[in-house]
């Protein structure tokens, strides 16, 4: 029997395999080409301390009591695997293979999403569509290769909903309630705010708890809490040190961050519906949330409670983006039936067609455009030179991991270049990196001021997506566009 849309019900297993293979391919390509990091937390709380332990001091322990140490341990285990057991020495390739490994692990969420759909009584076509969006929606390969807490926790969130769905349908209620809560608890261990989902599901478990399944759900949550207590005691020697430290840190710094509009996250999900397809996809997500309220209500609570926080970043929604995509597909049949009833079939077909086409168009750049290459590649070039002895930069992130922590590494402010390069301290470094053009830093004026020879090496530009956002919003994204590298000739 040949594979075609008409025999999708009979060959669902083969179709699922192709969806998984396509998702893996996208994740491997994304890991190779887009090996940079998104934000500071991903780098400073995971990559850099794990790299320091790997390259410099094996006795090093994670010291940031206001952050979960779980990301640090996860990164270090992957780095150690590829460095010590496989023999990879390049930091770039260690990152690439670690991202690939995480990408393979993320396929769990694709299978869990597919099985959740079947468990809830959806047909195989809908279930395969659910698997397809979790696997190949344009942001998913990128998201599921980032070494960040939001991305990792999203996998456990989807798996947790799968076991809750089984319990909801009366399948081994006690066991599945327990497993659901443990998995959601692990998601919370990576990102504490995911506790919103855990609390929401507990309330739902109590509401539906005919067989007292909520008791087992509570037991699963307690198990995750004990794991967090053990992790904090092992790392810091205290009781829930990272959780209490995080709460105190957030309280003290809440006024430091820029304040965004309360509806920013709502606009994000509207955008993820892909205009103009959102005329169908957003109503479908609403319908799907009403149809399967045990997923819709926690998702809604998560978005709304985050909306009250003055500090908002798109990555904060990563844990529930797969849930949003699942709800969207769950509601498609109902929206299709409504459109037929109201003689809007053309609008439905147009919107679905736009969604598929736009997703394909957006998928290609999302898995091929490097992030912060303007910061990483100059460092990789500099440390690979035989005469390298030190590196100074005005970037907000000095990629010490990619420099393998070698030589003198210093961060400097943009307006301090002339003073620094003319000082004795500059003799300890020989590579100079700036994210600003030379006319704004005055680096090229130094030779005439203090008889220092400086050679311009080149501009290491970031990927075209980074450069596009730097062009659209230079105030917040300029640091992602250019990387000017110079060499001091002593």
- Six-digit token string for 175: 């066991």
H helix or E strand, kind and range, residue 392: strand 390-393
pTM: 0.93
H helix or E strand, kind and range, residue 454: strand 453-459
Q: What is the pLDDT of residue 148?
A: 95
CB contact set of 84 (below 8 Å; sequence gap of 6+): none
* CB of 160 closer than 8 Å to CB of 180: yes
H helix or E strand, kind and range, residue 433: strand 431-434
Q: What is the pLDDT of residue 29?
A: 97
Which DSSP string corresponds to 168-207? HTTSSHHHHHHHHHHHHHHHHHH-GGGHHHHHHHHHHHHH
H helix or E strand, kind and range, residue 484: strand 484-489
474/268 Cα distance (integer angstroms): 20
* CB of 228 closer than 8 Å to CB of 240: yes
How sure is the predictor about 414, in pLDDT bands with cuts at 50, 70 and 90? confident
* CB of 75 closer than 8 Å to CB of 46: yes
* Residue whose tokens read 């996860």: 74
Q: How many CB atoms lie within 10 A of CB 131?
A: 28
Q: What is the pLDDT of residue 253?
A: 76
Q: What is the pLDDT of residue 344?
A: 83
235/140 Cα distance (integer angstroms): 32
How sure is the predictor about 1, in pLDDT bands with cuts at 50, 70 and 90? very low
Measured in degrees and rounded to the nearest 5, phi and psi for residue 405 equal 60, 25
Mean pLDDT of the chain: 91
Across 24-38, 84-98, 244-258, 290-304, least confident range: 244-258
Residue 249 sits at the vertex; the CA angle it makes with 243 and 253, to the nearest 5 degrees, is: 150
* Residue whose tokens read 């319990």: 167
pLDDT > 90 in the chain, percent: 73
Q: Quick one: which of 222, 225, 219, 253 has its CA closest to 240? A: 225
169/187 Cα distance (integer angstroms): 23
């Amino acid at each position: 029997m040949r594979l075609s849309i008409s025999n999708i019900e009979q060959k669902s297993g083969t179709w699922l395999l192709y969806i998984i293979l396509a998702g893996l391919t996208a994740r491997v390509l994304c890991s190779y080409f887009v090996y940079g990091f998104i934000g500071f937390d991903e780098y400073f709380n995971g990559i850099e301390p794990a790299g320091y332990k790997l390259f410099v001091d094996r006795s090093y322990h994670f010291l940031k009591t206001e952050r979960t140490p779980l990301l640090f341990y996860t990164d270090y285990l992957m780095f150690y695997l590829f460095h010590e057991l496989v023999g990879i020495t390049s930091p770039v390739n260690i990152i690439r293979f670690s991202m690939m490994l995480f990408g393979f692990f993320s396929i769990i969420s694709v299978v869990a999403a597919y099985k959740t759909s079947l468990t809830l009584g959806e047909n195989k076509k809908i279930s395969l569509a659910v698997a397809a969006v979790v696997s190949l929606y344009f942001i998913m390969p990128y998201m599921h290769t980032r070494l960040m807490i939001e991305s990792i926790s999203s996998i456990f969130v989807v798996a947790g909903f799968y076991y809750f769905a089984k319990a909801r349908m009366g399948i081994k209620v006690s066991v599945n309630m327990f497993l659901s809560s443990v998995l959601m608890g692990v998601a919370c261990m990576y990102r504490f705010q995911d506790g919103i989902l855990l609390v929401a599901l507990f309330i739902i478990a109590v509401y539906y708890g005919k067989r007292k399944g909520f008791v087992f759900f509570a037991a699963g949550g307690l198990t995750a809490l004990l794991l967090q207590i053990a992790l904090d005691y092992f790392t810091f020697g205290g009781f829930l040190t990272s959780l209490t430290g995080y709460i105190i840190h957030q309280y003290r710094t809440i006024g430091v961050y820029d304040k965004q509009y309360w509806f920013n996250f709502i606009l994000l999900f509207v955008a993820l519906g892909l205009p103009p397809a959102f005329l169908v996809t957003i109503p479908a997500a609403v319908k799907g949330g009403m149809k399967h309220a045990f997923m819709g209500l926690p998702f809604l609570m998560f978005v709304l409670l985050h909306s009250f926080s003055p500090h908002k970043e798109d990555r904060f929604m990563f844990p529930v983006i797969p849930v949003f995509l699942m709800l969207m597909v769950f509601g498609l049949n109902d929206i299709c039936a409504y459109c037929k009833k109201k003689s809007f079939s053309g609008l439905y077909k147009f919107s679905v067609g736009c969604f598929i086409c736009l997703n394909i168009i957006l998928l290609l750049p999302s898995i091929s455009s490097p992030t912060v290459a303007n910061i990483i590649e100059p460092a990789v070039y500099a440390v690979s030179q035989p005469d390298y002895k030190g590196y100074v930069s005005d970037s907000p992130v000095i990629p010490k991991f990619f420099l393998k922590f070698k030589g003198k590494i210093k961060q400097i402010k943009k307006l301090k270049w002339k003073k620094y390069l003319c000082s004795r301290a500059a003799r300890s470094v020989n590579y100079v990196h700036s994210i600003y053009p030379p006319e704004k830093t005055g680096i090229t004026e130094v030779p005439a001021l203090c008889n220092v020879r400086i050679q311009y090496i080149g501009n290491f530009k970031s990927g075209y997506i980074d450069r596009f956002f730097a062009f659209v919003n230079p105030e917040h994204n300029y640091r992602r566009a250019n990387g000017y590298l110079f060499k001091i000739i002593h």
